[in-house]
């Protein structure tokens, strides 16, 4: 307690009047041989195409210091985020509630989960409903240390600054991936039933009817400059799940890393010192994909589409950047709470079906669904979930901008509703932050079924989305301009 009090006093003594900002980028590329859990089977990494990074922005004003940390990772379990925040507090005195730690959701990163094998059950179940007592993996320990170091480096670079925000629009790179389709065979689920919609249906198929939800085409961003106009950092946000199209078993930050590098080039900030830090965070993209399912996929070289999308989005941010209005006295604030939610539980019908699947089908009988055994195992595991979960939700204020933070893969329609209802001039949402509780469909999307609603990848109660939205809006209202 004395150490904590001393650190807090040091932090308070170090606060200068006016807005200050600092940023950092640090390498978190894993060693070869780490699992890459980007699909139903996780290969072991054999090559590195481009490095993975943790990118950090720290802002300070009027005694309030906040930090945004974005890591090139598929997901970050709560144990990694909590341990990193504990280390940051120990090193700098910055409270855990003032830090957001988010994953970009690249599907080409090494696993930040505890994994012992390359299969879907391993990477979906571990670090899910409960905190395992297993020791941290080597890579988890490395990420935690690098996050804490990055925050400390950003704090060490704090300087007088000005901040503003802007909004661009890139509508032709986001498409809803959940579709109404005609054929029942395309809508089977692994629990013995039939859904109303299908995730990622066959491309250019005559079975396609219409998408099941909207997309959010906005590219929102926070721009931070020194008082002389030197770019310090840009924290951007786009609701695009990821791009992919790289080589299997190859490490890559996906378009998130390419965006950051390209924006630095457009700003002419690639050689400056201190270095400019570009950051792309993931918006409400749980049901969004980067291609139109109605259009055949044109073959192209690996990583070509990643780079093309990254450059398009960076160009739009650069365009909107020219009109940003900056303030050196923008009010900062943050609210954090643990939202009590129930875990998703299997129905009696799911439990009975899973038991039959795990008992083994009779010889020659074809499975109803290709992944039914995997999900039957997750149904069995879900029966041991705790009675209640404490799910972290967080909101930051930067002047008249609000940034919501969710620990789930959030649907676009929830992000759009939050933008429409915010009491601030503008708001956006960073998903996959501070923990990972799987997909969080809206109530309407739950009714339609589809992959994102399946128990195992969906881990929170069916009313989680409206409850979380209400909590975020309530936190915004408590610190409205």
To which H or E segment does residue 102 belong?
strand 99-103
Q: Which of 32-41, 110-119, 236-245, 458-467 has the lowest mean pLDDT?
A: 110-119
Q: Look at residues 360, 325, 373, 344 and name the one whose alpha carbon lies nearest to residue 462.
A: 344
Q: Which of 9-18, 20-29, 65-74, 106-115 has the lowest mean pLDDT?
A: 9-18
Q: What is the pLDDT of residue 385?
A: 87
Read off the pLDDT of each residue in 241-260 and give the average, rounded to a whole number.
Answer: 96
The tens digit of pLDDT for each residue in 326-345 reads 999 999 999 999 999 999 99
The b/e string for 452-479 (b: 16+ C-beta within 10 A; e otherwise) is bbbbbbbbbbbebbebbbebbbebbeeb
What's the mean per-residue pLDDT of the chain?
A: 92
Report the C-alpha gap between 5 and 424 in whole angstroms.
34
Give the residue ranges of DSSP H helices in 299-442: 304-321, 348-359, 372-382, 412-421
The tens digit of pLDDT for each residue in 402-449 reads 999 999 999 999 999 999 999 999 999 999 999 999 999 999 999 999
Report the C-alpha gap between 370 and 192 in whole angstroms.
11
To which H or E segment does residue 85 belong?
helix 78-92
Contacts (Cβ under 8 Å, ≥6 apart) of 27: 51, 52, 53, 146
Cis peptide before 107 (omega within 30 of 0): no
Q: Look at residues 162, 157, 54, 152 and name the one whose alpha carbon lies nearest to residue 398.
A: 162
Token look-up 């890459």 returns: 36
pTM passes above 0.85: yes
Report the C-alpha gap between 391 and 464 in whole angstroms.
10
Q: Is the pLDDT of residue 131 over 70?
A: no
The tens digit of pLDDT for each residue in 462-479 reads 999 999 999 999 999 999
């Amino acid at each position: 307690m004395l150490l904590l009090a001393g650190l807090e006093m040091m932090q308070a003594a170090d606060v200068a009047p006016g807005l200050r900002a600092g940023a950092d980028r640090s390498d978190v590329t894993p060693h070869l041989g780490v699992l890459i859990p980007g699909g139903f089977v996780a290969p072991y990494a054999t090559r590195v195409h481009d490095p993975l990074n943790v990118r950090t922005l720290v802002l300070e004003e009027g005694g309030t210091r906040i930090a945004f940390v974005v890591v090139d990772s598929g997901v970050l379990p709560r144990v990694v985020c909590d341990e990193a925040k504990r280390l940051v507090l120990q090193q700098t005195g910055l409270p855990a509630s003032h830090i957001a730690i988010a994953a970009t959701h690249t599907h080409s990163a090494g696993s930040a989960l505890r994994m012992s094998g390359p299969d879907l059950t391993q990477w979906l179940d571990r670090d899910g409903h409960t905190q395992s007592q297993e020791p941290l993996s080597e890579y988890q320990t490395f990420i935690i240390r690098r996050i804490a170091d990055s925050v400390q480096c950003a704090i060490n670079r704090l300087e007088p600054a000005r901040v503003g925000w802007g909004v661009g629009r890139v509508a032709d790179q986001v498409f809803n991936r959940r579709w109404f389709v005609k054929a029942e065979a395309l809508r089977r689920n692994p629990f013995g039933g039939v859904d109303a919609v299908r995730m990622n249906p066959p491309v250019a198929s005559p079975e396609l009817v219409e998408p099941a939800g909207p997309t959010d085409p906005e590219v929102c961003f926070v721009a931070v400059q020194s008082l002389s106009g030197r770019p310090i950092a840009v924290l951007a946000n786009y609701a695009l799940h990821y791009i992919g199209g790289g080589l299997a078993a190859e490490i890559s930050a996906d378009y998130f890393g390419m965006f950051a590098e390209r924006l630095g080039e457009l700003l002419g900030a690639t050689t400056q010192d201190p270095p400019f830090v570009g950051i792309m965070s993931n918006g409400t993209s749980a049901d969004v994909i980067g291609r139109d399912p109605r259009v055949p996929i044109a073959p192209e070289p690996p990583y070509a589409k990643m780079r093309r999308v990254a450059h398009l989005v960076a160009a739009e941010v650069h365009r909107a950047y020219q009109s940003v209005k900056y303030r050196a006295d923008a009010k900062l604030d943050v609210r954090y709470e643990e939202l009590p939610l129930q875990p998703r539980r299997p129905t009696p019908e799911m439990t009975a079906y899973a038991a039959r699947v795990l008992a083994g089908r009779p010889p020659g009988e074809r499975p109803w669904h290709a992944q039914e055994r995997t999900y039957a195992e997750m149904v069995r595991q879900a029966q041991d979930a705790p009675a209640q979960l404490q799910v972290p939700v967080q909101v930051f204020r930067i002047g008249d901008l609000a940034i919501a933070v969710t620990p789930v893969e959030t649907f676009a329609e929830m992000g759009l509703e939050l933008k429409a209802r915010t009491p601030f001039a503008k708001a956006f949402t960073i998903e996959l932050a501070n923990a990972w509780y799987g997909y969080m469909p809206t109530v309407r999307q739950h009714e339609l079924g589809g992959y994102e609603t399946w128990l195992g990848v969906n881990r929170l109660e069916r009313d989680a989305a409206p409850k979380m939205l209400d909590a975020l809006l309530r936190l915004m209202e408590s610190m409205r301009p």
